[in-house]
Amino acid sequence: MAQPDPYAPPAERAAALRAEIARLDHAYYVLDTPLVPDADYDALFRELQAIEAAHPELRTADSPTQRVGGAPLPQFVPVRHAVPMLSIQTETDTTPQGASAFDQRVRNKLGLSADDPPVLYNAELKFDGLAINLRYEHGVLVQAATRGDGETGEDVTQNVRTIRSVPLQLRAPKPPAVLEVRGEALMQRAEFERYNDRQRAKGLPTLVNPRNGAAGSIRQLDPAIAAQRPLAFYAYGWGEIQGWSDQPDTHHAMLDAFEALGLPVAPQRAHGPGAQTLIRFHADIAAARDSLPFDIDGVVYKVDSLALQRELGFRNREPVWAVAHKYPAQERSTRVLAIDIQVGRTGKLTPVAKLEPVFVGGVTVTNATLHNEDEVRRKDVRVGDMVVVRRAGDVIPEVVSVLLDQRPADVGEPFDLYKQLGGHCPVCGSGIVREEGEADWRCTGGLFCAAQRKQAILHYASRRAMDIEGLGEKLVDQLVDGGIVHTLPDLYRLGLMKLAALDRMADKSAGNLLAALERSKAATLPRFIYALGIRHVGEATAKELARHFGSLDGLMNASLEQLQAVPDIGPIVALSLRTFFDQPHNREVVEQLRACGVRWDESAPADATAPKPLTGKTFVLTGTLPSISREDAKERIEAAGGKVAGAVSKKTDYVVAGAEAGSKLAKAQELGVAVIDEAALMALLAHG
């Protein structure tokens, strides 16, 4: 669809804008298929308003500015609203000044001076769902209707009855003869994700966003399908009212009364005097927006007094006493210029869309994540496409969907990550792999790849690996970013002068780190294997590998079949090990670490048939042992075939108790479990 020419004469531009907005309205309200983000639509609508304000002769009766928009589907029974469901004006200034501007307009309309008391307001959320009118007669729900074009909506009673938060009968001994409650039907984020997860598992289409899910659910011709999409409802207004003898006289009191009648009202609301009440509410909701269970696109301010609402009245079918104050757009459309591949700290390859700059969510966005290859293909994102980009809070911007009706004829080919990279990491040139059942491709150059350098060093230095005290994240950042450390062996080539020159690193701290590095050279084979950071190889697996092969060379040269002969090693772990050691640069790093003096005791390969002294025995460690650490004791027990548990139970064979043993010792005595000391443990390790 061609876009309206922005340089056309006012009459032509207005006619083109009316046609385009009508097309978007039809897709959004009638077909439940939004074609552009709200912010793009709002921009077109505001431009048409500006043209008609400057040229009143161009304003027509069928202009979108003169009606709410939309039309009922012919499959639904039309419902004529007793009181029209009108839209409210949008405050275009998304800063706090927007609230002050609304307050000033209200005061001017009421003829108030600066010395007059402040106006009392009620502030609420602006939900992103589907507006619904619930009609209760003598407390019983008799009808639910969509807004439609504001004058006539659609009867969706059967579908709304599936919303469990909507009461079928009001909680009141003497309810009003007629009470029309207006609010928003919406799909909460958690329900939206659960629904899409179920759809993906079944190989069925997913929903684009929660708003689309709510609209599509309410307007299903089959209520059984609507019931499968769990919705929520929040009341915020009313239409026709008859026979309510003690009706409140303020807006906030009306919402309180709705709650008392059993109607759901969002707790995020406030009422108080003047613009400061509105500014505080706008800021508070902005801070909490991402933690809300549902989507909003702004807040709504209303004059609290119903008498003042009547005095202020309406202008161009919009209430003067209310305004919607939006936040910066979180969804906008833009064009994909390229799809690059980023390598994460753990080797994960993430496709990233390079975009024409677009202002969304308060910042200018030029990159958006595409998550993984499967997501790119599912959304069919291609270079040259117009796409919808979403940004929420501090979350990384993402591509939500492709605007297929705007796809150019020369759009790029479907995305293929392996083909685009030629099978190699874009940072280090190592091979890339995608394991069975995994969504992500990964670089295999863990010890060599510059993108993974910091993560590899931090893992290598961690307490359960080489235990290099003092080598934390901030120091690693300085070493890597300053070009001082490129690979793990560089750690052992650091000198006192170079370390002491770093930010916040005095001579004493530098000396302590060098001492810790020197101590780490005396390693154990299980710790060293774990420190290499091989995918799927944790501490327990590293211990089994060290016990089984006895030497690092035996492990490095083992075939897939030999690796799978190790207890608890399956084909995925075996392939990960073989892939790691097949990379020449990984072997080079290992050899350089050996050359730097990193060493460990090795032994003959384990005889799988030979009995172990502690096979089948379960131990629990508690307190401080005299000469060995609990971690060392655990390693020795496991090497002897025993198991170390964290809690005492009837299945525990021995509790090894040291100084200041606590509740575990008491539990062992209560259950009659054998309690031994370090000397007895050593005897068991030696003789079983």
- For 597-608, give the DSSP string: T-B----PPP-T
Residue 416's Cβ-side half-sphere holds a number of Cα atoms within 13 Å equal to: 8
- Classify residue 64 by its DSSP letter: G
Distance CA 545, CA 552 (A): 9
Tell which wins on pLDDT, 636 or 606: 636
DSSP string, 380-418: T--TT-EEEEE--TTSPPEEEEE-GGG--TT--PPP-HH
Structure tokens belonging to residue 425: 């990491």
Looking at the domain 469-595, which fold is it?
Answer: DNA polymerase; domain 1 (1.10.150)
Q: Which amino acid is at 487?
A: T
pLDDT at 646: 86
CB 653 within 8 A of CB 618: yes
**55 pLDDT higher than 80:** yes
Structure tokens belonging to residue 374: 């499967």
End-to-end CA distance of the chain: 81
pLDDT at 25: 75
Residue 210 — pLDDT band, cuts 50, 70, 90? Answer: confident
CATH number 3.40.50.10190 given to 618-687: yes
**203 pLDDT higher than 80:** no
CB 413 within 8 A of CB 424: no
Residue 427's Cβ-side half-sphere holds a number of Cα atoms within 13 Å equal to: 22
**609 pLDDT higher than 90:** no
pLDDT at 184: 95
Residue 83 — pLDDT band, cuts 50, 70, 90? Answer: very high
- Classify residue 480 by its DSSP letter: H
Residue 72 — pLDDT band, cuts 50, 70, 90? Answer: low
CB 173 within 8 A of CB 240: no
Instruction: Let me know if 509 is exposed, middle or buried by CB neighbors in 10 A (0-12, 13-18, 19+).
Output: middle
CB 365 within 8 A of CB 358: yes
Distance CA 301, CA 271 (A): 9
Residue 21 — pLDDT band, cuts 50, 70, 90? Answer: confident
Active-site residue (options: 126, 302, 326, 664):
126
Residue 575 — pLDDT band, cuts 50, 70, 90? Answer: very high
pLDDT at 3: 60
Of 2.30.30.90, 1.10.1530.10, 2.40.50.140, 2.60.15.10, the CATH number of 331-421 is 2.40.50.140
pLDDT at 66: 66
pLDDT digits (tens, 9 = 90+) for 253-281: 999 999 999 999 999 999 999 999 999 99
Least confident interval from 238-242, 276-280, 342-346: 342-346
Tokens 């060493």 locate to 599
**70 pLDDT higher than 70:** no
Percent of the chain topping pLDDT 90: 55
pLDDT at 194: 87
pLDDT at 441: 94
441: which residues sit within 8 A by CB, 6+ positions away? 348, 349, 372, 373, 417, 418, 432, 433, 434
Over residues 329-348, the mean pLDDT reads 90
pLDDT at 182: 97
**Which span out of 115-119, 220-224, 570-574 was modeled with the highest average pLDDT?**
115-119
Across the chain, what does the average pLDDT equal? Answer: 89
Domains of the chain: which residue ranges? 10-66, 90-326, 331-421, 469-595, 618-687
Q: Is 126 a catalytic residue?
A: yes
Q: Give me the architecture of the 90-326 domain, per CATH.
A: 2-Layer Sandwich (3.30)
Distance CA 332, CA 96 (A): 22
Tokens 């009620």 locate to 122
CATH of domain 10-66: 1.10.287.610
Structure tokens belonging to residue 675: 């309690």
**Closest C-alpha among 267, 586, 614 to residue 449:** 586
Percent of the chain topping pLDDT 70: 95
Residue 71 — pLDDT band, cuts 50, 70, 90? Answer: low
pLDDT at 532: 95
pLDDT at 610: 63
Tokens 């117009």 locate to 386
Structure tokens belonging to residue 672: 């009659």
Distance CA 487, CA 445 (A): 11
pLDDT at 37: 85
**Closest C-alpha among 191, 255, 256 to residue 229:** 191
Least confident interval from 5-19, 132-146, 657-671: 5-19
Least confident interval from 24-28, 307-311, 491-495, 519-523: 24-28
Distance CA 489, CA 498 (A): 16
Over residues 429-440, the mean pLDDT reads 87
Distance CA 556, CA 652 (A): 36
What's the pTM value of the predicted model, to 2 decimals? Answer: 0.56
Tell which wins on pLDDT, 345 or 323: 323
Query: What's the 3-state SS for 67-92?
Result: CCCCCCCCCCCEEECCCCCCCCCEEC
**110 pLDDT higher than 90:** yes
pLDDT at 608: 55
**Which span out of 41-45, 167-171, 672-676 was modeled with the highest average pLDDT?**
672-676
Residue 628 — pLDDT band, cuts 50, 70, 90? Answer: confident
Phi, psi of 41 (to 5 degrees): -65, -45
CB 294 within 8 A of CB 230: no
Phi, psi of 322 (to 5 degrees): -145, 155
CA dihedral 417, 418, 424, 427 (to 10 degrees): 0
pLDDT digits (tens, 9 = 90+) for 133-190: 999 999 999 999 999 888 999 999 888 888 888 888 898 889 999 999 999 999 988 8
